[in-house]
């Protein structure tokens, strides 16, 4: 079998779903009739290792070393028969193939337990008596992590379930350490990886091998694969691309890198890969490649003279997950938080609503790079076409839109299209907490299958949010998260500490804001991370403007992105990390709100200056009811029943109309005048979501007045008619 392109992701990224880069490229190559095959070597190496044969071989390998292992490692080694006996069943269960095993897993005495189980919380409150499946997934995940700890200590110090040798790729200004590691003998994991790679290369005999490296945790294994291919298959050319190259290798000059790769491409991969294939087939000279590094006469050269433009999002085709073993990915639950689990539990089809970021101003972000800077949305109809194709292809109806920040207007259009097509899907994405996310828009998103959003609150301080150019305030975030929460959509907030000029007072005040948001019930999940300065962000490009100084030696001939700096404000941000994360863990579990903030830290911190009712007051602020004339008006509900009745009193007879509405949960009746009742019946049919055209608020008002009815605004805003919002009358 001869294949033009072999696309793969090296170990390790996620174990529950494939990283989508190769599926995107395969989908594009399909549109060009270029043959390709893709693989996820991460899941394949994992399954080879986490099997009865894999563990048997590994324990034999460990026994041959006979070293002075830790107490935890000794315990696992002594219990190895129990691990070998249970591993296949556990993996099958996590693959969704043996759900009844959950009952055994939840019983003490079935799974061997080591150090990870000591952090086991009381699971009853988290999973309840009906949560056997989820509880078993969590216990099985701890079991896998125990084995991972053993592997790290006794087999391969670089091992990690979702990353491998990450330290070697992170902030590696110089190639020396990674290069030295690559000259060493194969590790045990290397041997498993190369064994799988050898079989695929022998079968495929590809002209081009494209290795996607999204993260530093994939870098070492990518180099190992490139090294082996160049030695044993010199006729196959090897190219690296992906997120790591796009951000870290933009000033690459070390020629030793090309002992492992023939080419490295930057940014969107479609045109560079197409040009590269044309070059390998003798149809394009090397100097007409696009955004490609290679070695010419012993010197690293960057070639970007191609006359071909990048493809528009409408032209790149639907991602193709063919070749990937979709039924073999595992669903794990690392933590019980319902939002966190979505990153590791369940298989999601990955799509993008828009290339780049529609906001593109945040000063900590790589806004100077094309993957952020070049904003291009995909039409809602095309997105739904791709969703339907992926459902047919994979059998999965869950979608994760991996946008930098999904545009509210496009989310609205996508939700309407999903509902109109009567698609039953589940989806989630990343957003900015901007005021466009009204109560009605959130209800529409929920109706279309949206279950969760994640977004950057970053530093919960209005001064720092302005400095970051986030374009939101804390009060605004509170109201938006309330809208999502009340619609039944989970909200995860990315939180940041250590931004340039941030003071200890602002860190504590930010924590108080977060505490109040969780206490008010408008946030369900969050994660604190320390600010990292990157070379391509506004702060990195102009550090003096933010009052910081770059430390010497923060550049080199290999990877250049993360930058070390000093902040003259003098705050020891490292010291706050543990307390911030410990408090957040408690808040996510709904406890600890009454504790003074000082209790989360083992050193003196300032008292917060934020009023205790700041968030509550922000949520209680009266919103001005003003509907723009061009706002879209949509009815999601069923047609109501209209009953006209008459009453006679003192010789006078008058009629009234009773409109009765039904939804899945309740009935609602409102009484109006007969002409208005007939108008409501007619207008709801015209603005129903399945109609081809969407009406504006102005068109609705004009229709009302054309019927000779008076006081439109008085009727629209009155209390009985306003109740229809709960049943699906939305103004967007």
Three-class SS of 187-198: CHHHHHHHHHHH
Structural domains present in the chain: 5-41+164-307 (3.40.50.2300), 48-154 (no CATH), 337-620 (3.80.30.20), 632-731 (no CATH)
Q: Which of 58-67, 315-324, 400-409, 647-656 has the lowest mean pLDDT?
A: 647-656
CA distances from 390 to 311, 320, 416 (A): 21, 8, 19
Q: Which of 161-175, 293-307, 412-426 has the lowest mean pLDDT?
A: 161-175
> DSSP H helical segments within 550-602, as ranges?
577-588
Token match 């009406």: residue?
695
* Average pLDDT estimate for 400-427: 94
Q: Which of 266-270, 389-393, 469-473 has the lowest mean pLDDT?
A: 469-473
Answer whether residue 142 shows pLDDT above 60: yes
Q: CA nearest 724: which of 612, 639, 603?
A: 639
145 versus 622: the higher-pLDDT residue is 145
Answer whether residue 452 shows pLDDT above 60: yes
265-308 pLDDT tens trace: 999 999 999 999 999 999 999 999 999 999 999 999 999 999 99
pLDDT grade, residue 166 (50/70/90)? Answer: low
Whole-number pLDDT of residue 472:
87
Angstrom distance (rounded) from CA 548 to CA 569: 9
542's tokens: 């102009």
Mean pLDDT for the chain? 90
Whole-number pLDDT of residue 34:
97
| 8-state DSSP, 405 | S
**Continuous segment of H or E residues that includes residue 484:** helix 474-487
Whole-number pLDDT of residue 720:
74
378's tokens: 């995909």
**Continuous segment of H or E residues that includes residue 703:** helix 697-706
The β-bridge relationship of strands 376-377 and 426-431 is unpaired
Instruction: Give residues with Cβ within 8 angstroms of 199, minimum separation 6.
Output: none
Whole-number pLDDT of residue 647:
77
pLDDT grade, residue 339 (50/70/90)? Answer: confident
Q: What percent of the chain has pLDDT over 90?
A: 63
| 8-state DSSP, 158 | T
Answer whether residue 171 shows pLDDT above 60: no
pLDDT grade, residue 168 (50/70/90)? Answer: low
Question: Do 422 and 396 contact (CB within 8 A), yes or no?
Answer: no
67's tokens: 């070293």
Angstrom distance (rounded) from CA 236 to CA 641: 69
Q: CA nearest 169: which of 234, 93, 248, 224?
A: 248
Angstrom distance (rounded) from CA 503 to CA 568: 11
């Amino acid at each position: 079998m001869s294949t033009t392109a072999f696309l793969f992701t090296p170990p390790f990224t996620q174990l529950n779903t494939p990283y989508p880069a190769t599926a995107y490229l395969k989908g594009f190559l399909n549109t060009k009739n270029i043959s390709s095959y893709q693989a996820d070597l991460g899941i394949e190496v994992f399954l080879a290792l986490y099997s009865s044969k894999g563990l048997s071989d590994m324990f034999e390998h460990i026994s041959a070393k006979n070293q002075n292992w830790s107490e935890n490692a000794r315990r696992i080694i002594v219990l190895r028969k129990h691990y070998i006996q249970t591993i296949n069943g556990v993996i099958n269960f996590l693959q969704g193939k043996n759900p009844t095993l959950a009952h055994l897993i939840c019983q003490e005495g079935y799974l061997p337990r080591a150090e990870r189980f000591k952090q086991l919380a009381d699971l009853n409150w988290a999973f309840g008596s009906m949560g056997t499946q989820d509880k078993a997934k969590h216990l099985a995940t701890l079991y896998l992590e125990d084995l991972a700890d053993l592997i790290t200590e006794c087999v391969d110090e670089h091992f990690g379930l979702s990353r491998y040798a990450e330290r070697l790729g992170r902030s590696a200004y110089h190639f020396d350490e990674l290069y030295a590691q690559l000259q060493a003998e194969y590790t045990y994991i290397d041997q498993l990886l190369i064994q799988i790679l050898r079989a695929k290369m022998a079968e495929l005999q590809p002209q081009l091998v494209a290795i996607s490296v999204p993260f530093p945790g994939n870098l070492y294994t990518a180099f190992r694969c490139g090294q082996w291919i160049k030695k044993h298959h010199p006729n196959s050319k090897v190219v690296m691309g992906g997120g790591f190259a796009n951000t870290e290798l933009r000033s690459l000059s070390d020629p030793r890198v090309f002992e492992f790769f023939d080419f490295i491409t930057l940014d969107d991969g479609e045109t560079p890969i197409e040009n590269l294939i044309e070059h390998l087939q003798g149809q394009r000279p090397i100097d007409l490649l696009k955004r490609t590094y290679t070695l010419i006469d012993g010197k690293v050269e960057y070639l970007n003279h191609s006359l071909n433009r990048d493809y528009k999002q409408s032209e790149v085709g639907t991602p193709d997950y063919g070749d990937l073993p979709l039924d073999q990915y595992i669903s794990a639950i690392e933590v019980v938080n319902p939002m966190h689990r979505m990153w590791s539990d369940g298989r999601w089809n990955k799509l993008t609503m828009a290339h780049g970021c529609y906001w593109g101003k945040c000063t900590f972000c790589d806004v100077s790079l094309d993957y952020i800077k070049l904003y291009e949305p995909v039409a809602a109809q095309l997105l739904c076409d791709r969703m339907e194709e992926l459902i047919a292809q994979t059998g999965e109806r869950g979608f994760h839109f991996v946008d930098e920040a999904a545009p509210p207007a496009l989310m609205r259009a996508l939700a309407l299209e999903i509902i109109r097509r009567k698609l039953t899907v589940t989806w989630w994405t990343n957003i900015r907490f901007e005021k466009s996310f009204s109560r009605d828009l959130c209800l529409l998103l929920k109706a279309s299958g949206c279950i969760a959003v994640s977004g950057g609150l970053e530093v919960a301080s209005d001064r720092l949010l302005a400095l970051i150019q986030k374009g939101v305030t804390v009060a605004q975030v509170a109201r938006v998260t309330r809208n999502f929460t009340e619609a039944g959509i989970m909200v995860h907030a990315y939180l940041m500490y250590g931004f340039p000029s941030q003071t200890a007072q602002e860190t504590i005040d930010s924590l108080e804001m977060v505490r109040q948001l969780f206490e008010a019930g408008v946030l369900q999940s969050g994660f604190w991370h320390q600010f990292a300065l990157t070379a391509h962000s506004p702060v990195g490009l102009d550090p003096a403007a933010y009052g910081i100084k770059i430390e010497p030696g923060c550049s080199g001939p290999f990877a250049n992105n993360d930058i070390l700096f000093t902040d003259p404000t003098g705050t020891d941000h490292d010291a706050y990390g543990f307390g911030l994360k410990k408090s957040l863990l408690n808040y996510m579990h709904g406890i600890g709100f009454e504790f003074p903030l000082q209790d989360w830290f083992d050193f003196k911190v300032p008292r917060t200056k934020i009023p205790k009712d700041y968030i509550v007051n922000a949520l209680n602020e009266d919103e001005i009811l003003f509907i723009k004339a061009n706002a879209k008006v949509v009815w999601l509900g069923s047609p109501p029943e209209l009953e006209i009745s008459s009453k006679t009193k003192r010789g006078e007879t008058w009629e009234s109309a009773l409109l009765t509405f039904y939804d899945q949960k309740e009935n609602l009746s409102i009484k109006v005048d007969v002409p208005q009742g007939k108008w409501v019946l007619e207008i709801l049919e015209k603005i129903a979501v399945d109609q081809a055209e969407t009406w504006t608020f102005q068109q609705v008002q004009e229709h009302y007045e054309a019927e000779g009815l008076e006081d439109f605004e008085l009727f629209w805003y009155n209390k009985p008619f306003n109740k229809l919002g709960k049943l699906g009358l939305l103004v967007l």
